[in-house]
Structure 1
Amino acid sequence: MRAYASGLALLADPTALGAVCLVADYRMPEIDGLSILRRLRERGWQGQALLITAFPSARLVDQALAAGYSRVIEKPLVEAALVEAVERAVAAY
């Protein structure tokens, strides 16, 4: 597992393309979670992706699924639910 200070820091790390699963927040200062996944996919990344957000809407869920996220998880996060979602995503990889 690796954490990044920002979405742009993740995109600047060439080793990020080796990740099996991405957990990204929708709203971040420099780049949103949808754009992060789009850029990773453009680079050939094929891993699983989970989007977390405090601002869920049907439109956002549709956009996230279209971008390649397998699930949208609402904040506040329940730790056990997040762990379970990551485990399922990794198992599906």
Structure 2
Amino acid sequence: MPKDKINGSKARPCVMVVEDDAAIRRSLQLLLRSRGYDVRAYASPRYALADKQNRDAACLIADLLLPGVDGLMLLSDLRADGWDGPAILISGYITPERRAQAAHTGFDAVLEKPVGDIKLVDTMSNLIASRKV
């Protein structure tokens, strides 16, 4: 059976994760894979932007504070490159101003770290489902 199939019928949605903290990145990978998603995880926005294979991602989960390019600029660059999926910004440093900036940039949701597993997966699943309608 092809590795992109679940129960032999549905393609596994891919999630792009950009998080510079290795422990958080690995935790997100394990969580999302356990829920049936393929995951492309990157420690740096530079790597995510260079990998054109991730443009089929069903969703982006990005940290706000990243090396070089922050999460806001990452989404702007992905949008400029034609990616139009839903995006979730995660950060331990959310302020009302940053929340407004994230919305203006095109993030569909902003979640404060530490993010609960259920909250993250439910938010992501709902955003992906709403884009399929």
Decide: shared fold, TM above 0.5.
yes
| Greater strand fraction, Structure 1 or Structure 2 | 2
1:67 aligns with 2:105: yes
**What SS class does the counterpart of residue 3 from structure 1 fall into?**
strand
Match of 1:21 in 2: 59
| Greater relative contact order (Cα < 8 A, sep 6+) | 1
Larger Rg: 2
Match of 2:69 in 1: 31
Q: What is the Cα deviation at residue 80 of structure 1?
A: 1.0
Q: Which runs of 5+ in 1 are unaligned?
A: none
Deviation by residue 1:43-71 (Cα, 9 ceiling, x = unmatched): 11110000001011111011000110001
Give aligned pairs, total: 93
Match of 2:123 in 1: 85
CA-based RMSD: 0.8
Q: Which runs of 4+ in 1 moved over 2 A?
A: none
- Alpha-carbon separation, structure 1, partners of 2:43 and 2:98: 23
Q: Which runs of 5+ in 2 are unaligned?
A: 1-38
Give aligned-pair identity as a percent. 39
Q: TM-score, normalised by structure 1?
A: 0.95
Q: What is the Cα deviation at residue 5 of structure 1?
A: 2.1
